[in-house]
A = this chain, B = another copy of it.
Amino acid sequence: MVVVMVPEATQEEVDAVVQLVRSAGGDAFVSRGVSRTIVGLVGDVNDFDALNLGSLSGVVQVMRVSAPYKLVSREHHPARSVIRVGGVPIGPDTMSVIAGPCAVETPEQTLEAARMAKRAGASLLRGGAFKPRTSPYSYQGLGEAGLKILAEVRQETGLPVVTEVIDAESVDMVASYADMLQVGARNMQNFSLLQAVGRAGRPVLLKRGFSATIEEWLSAAEYIAQRGNLDIVLCERGIRTFETATRNTLDISAVPLVQRLSHLPVIVDPSHSGGRRDLVLPLTRAALAAGADGVIIDVHPEPLRALCDGDQALVESDIQEIAEVVTVLSPLMGRALTMAESSAPSARPGALAAR
């Protein structure tokens, strides 16, 4: 059950709802969005019916929500949301490219990758300083030193930073450097981490787990929302299937389906889905044509020397093609490309021809 407050609801009005619910043996979680405040109730719905919550001051509406997720559901929030990351909007009217190196390795590599990202049409910089790796013997990232490099490159290029956080303890530290906190696929049901980023005051990029159903993915987003943070962007990055020709199987249908079930933006990671450089361009076109609100792409100045996932990173010669794709598709999809600089070419016949 969800209680929607009027935009101008006071703290006292919200507290009154929470206390009444708790007095009836339930619990209540407050989520303050930009335009309104929502209170999610946990407990026996029948007990709450007797409380006449709708009659309390400041309450607009009391809704039963049938899905296991409520605050992130489109059922109770029909308008699709816009999430702002360092001033850059991600939502239904824009097309956003996030790009950068899989892992931050050196200041030079990161700066060069960020410049490639800009030329590709990116308005946000990705880069991992903490890398959760299957084997403890694989490269684990630079840690806080990597975050400092990202902050410097942001200073240099103007690109806000998206970076992964891997445990609850380090959320505040990472948030002090990052514009957006990424929760990776392996941590999608690390509920302590979800609750910590829910309190961190930064927008969150929530990747879908390897084998998470759409319902589980949205329920994970609900854990973040329940702690008061509705600034969540969902990222489809491929699921695990029997097919071994690709690293993962991009579930392209998830894009339009999640947009029907949730008001949150959905972007796609064509790099980790396919795990092959030669699939990034066609999967980017597919994702944006399916209606994705953006893409997140690995680029690297020297993929052969990359410490992480070099096989899937785009190189300099791919950059112009990505720029063309987003330039051509954004107006056709009724969206504005959120570019850091305007250097992309105009549309021409055959611009998207498969290469």
Assembled-state Cα–Cα distance A294/B190 (Å): 27
Contact of A285 among B213, B289, B349 (CB under 8 A): B289
Number of this chain's copies in the assembly equals 4
A283 and B290 contacting across the interface, CB-CB below 8 Å: yes
A253 and B257 contacting across the interface, CB-CB below 8 Å: no
| Set of chain B residues within 8 Å of A239, measured between Cβ atoms | 241-243, 249
Check: A346 CB closer than 8 A to any chain B CB: no
A96 to chain B, nearest CB (A): 15
B354 and A332 contacting across the interface, CB-CB below 8 Å: no
Check: A135 CB closer than 8 A to any chain B CB: yes
Check: A302 CB closer than 8 A to any chain B CB: no
Assembled-state Cα–Cα distance A212/B288 (Å): 27
B246 and A253 contacting across the interface, CB-CB below 8 Å: yes
Known: A189-B186, A285-B289. A219 touches B135 (CB 8 A): yes
Known: A136-B222, A214-B243. A354 touches B291 (CB 8 A): yes
Count chain A residues whose beta carbon lies closer than 8 angstroms to a beta carbon of B: 80
Please report which residues of chain A, range 31-52, place their CB below 8 angstroms from some CB of chain B when the two chains form the complex: 40, 42
Contact of A250 among B167, B252, B334 (CB under 8 A): B252
| Set of chain B residues within 8 Å of A349, measured between Cβ atoms | 331-332, 334
Known: A187-B190, A240-B242, A282-B291. A136 touches B226 (CB 8 A): yes
A128 to chain B, nearest CB (A): 14
Determine the residue in chain B with the shortest Cβ distance to A186: B189
Determine the residue in chain B with the shortest Cβ distance to A273: B253
Check: A307 CB closer than 8 A to any chain B CB: no
Assembled-state Cα–Cα distance A247/B52 (Å): 38
23 A-B pairs (CB sep. < 8 Å): A29-B136, A69-B135, A132-B191, A136-B191, A166-B191, A166-B192, A167-B193, A190-B190, A241-B251, A245-B254, A249-B253, A253-B279, A255-B286, A256-B279, A256-B283, A259-B354, A283-B290, A285-B291, A329-B352, A331-B350, A332-B349, A332-B352, A334-B352
